[in-house]
Structure 1
Amino acid sequence: MSRSPIVIKVGGALLEDSAAMSRLFSSIKEVKKSRPVVVVHGGGPLVETLMASLGLSSNKLDGLRVTPDEHMPYICGALAGTANKQLCAAAIATGLSPVGLSLLDGDMVTCEPMAEQYGAVGVPTSANAGFLKSVLAQSSLPIVSSIGSSPQGRLLNINADQAATVIAELLDAELLLLSNVEGVLDGDKQLISELTETHIHTLSQQGVIIDGMKVKVDAAMQSALSLSRAVYIASWSADVMDILNKKTGTRILPTPPPAQTGASGDTE
């Protein structure tokens, strides 16, 4: 079996389902017998609850949370604190050895602010894999929150799907984007087993793939193209090996690159 790492992204709603958390970490424990695993997480519901309790508005633009800088102390506390440690505790209860991290730790990832209208929302870029590889070499389970920092030290909120994508790129890993849905659904709410870039574009134009799912699918396609391998969108209730064995979920397939024209072809 391949020893390449597996990066598993989980949404924040997993924290509200202790049984699903336990099942997922039990599945990860089995997978870790043969392959390294990294968990990357968000915490949207936790953030929304905290914002509401503080009387602060929480808005989204194109599926991404608009984050004023003055909200970042609370969002850091919710994501890098509460959400991260709840997941670490659940991993410990399953017999795993977690290490709670954020994107800004160990020079793993560099982040730059997005457009001004998003506030303290960042775009991540993979940097140095050495620290994360050293954690994996200890047979630990890194659990990484989606809090990053600019080179100038500005704390940034990173979309967790994009965070997981950049960690997968950092490790040349397989990527599973897990949430409380079984995969990408078509217009009739039926599971789509495989998607290509062309199919994604068509469904987006038709309004079938929108908002948060569009961010998820776009992140999956970016990683599929970068890694030249399929990326999986599936349910956290499914067995990890069943997902990798194509028994459930949606596979986002990389498309062949265009014919070479002699130009460098560098794009953002």
Structure 2
Amino acid sequence: MKQFKDQIGNIHTFNSTPKRIVSLVPSQTELLYDLGLEENIVGITKFCVHPFHLKSTKKIVGGTKNVHYDRIKLLEPDIIICNKEENTQGMVEELQEICPVWVTNVASFESNFQMITDFGQVFDKRTEARKWNDKLAFALSDFKKFINNIPVRKVAYFIWKNPYMVAGSGTFIDELLKLNHFQNYFVSLERYPEIDLEKIDEENELDLILLSSEPFPFKTEDGYEIVKSFGDNAQAILVDGEMFSWHGSRLIKALEYFKFLHKSI
């Protein structure tokens, strides 16, 4: 019998290593796969698109905010993976009636390293987890050397339209903005606030408007209206939302993407 604590402080006790996994977090589905747990994954969400073939080999149990509890129950999982930001508290509470629900809470690189370590312990994949953390630590060190000579730019990161919503402080996106020497225009606001473009102060200069590809798929034309609100000096660019918001092993690819992004600005 082993006990483990998840990232919101819940204690989980397992008589044996969990074998049947339902993952309700797209980025963590990818991490589970990269840790060598493909055979153990029995259920995923419709948004779990990496690796793509899982959508045809695993049971789709819904989205990240709404799931089919009956489908999950029929899969007889040993553990369900959720995330504090991606999934709702109500979901977690109802899922706990089925089996233990492991909740992650990733808002920094440190907590991402911890999540990978935790998965290595819970699923008896310690060696694989250590290898991924080592690769990530090396890639992060390399990127910090790259970004050292890049000037700080003031940016706004948009995640939604109608209403407009942005990434504020206390988010993983904000952490990655800081890493990229991007000063968040909306850092005084928490989480993902709605904003009114008509109340933007044009005199408060902005360098870049980052339009994310997810959860709202911004297009180039969406930038025109937003740019007008921030003044003519701001430049709107489309960015890959997965690279700025996904946790886990995806960060290896994200750090390479960030280099490409800076070279193209």
On whether the aligned pair clears a TM of 0.5, the verdict is no
Larger RCO: 1 or 2 (CA < 8 Å, sep 6+)? 1
Task: Please indicate the TM-score interval, normalised by the length of the shorter structure.
Answer: under 0.3
Larger Cα Rg: Structure 1 or Structure 2?
2
Taking structure 1 as the reference length, what is the TM-score of the superposition?
A: 0.24
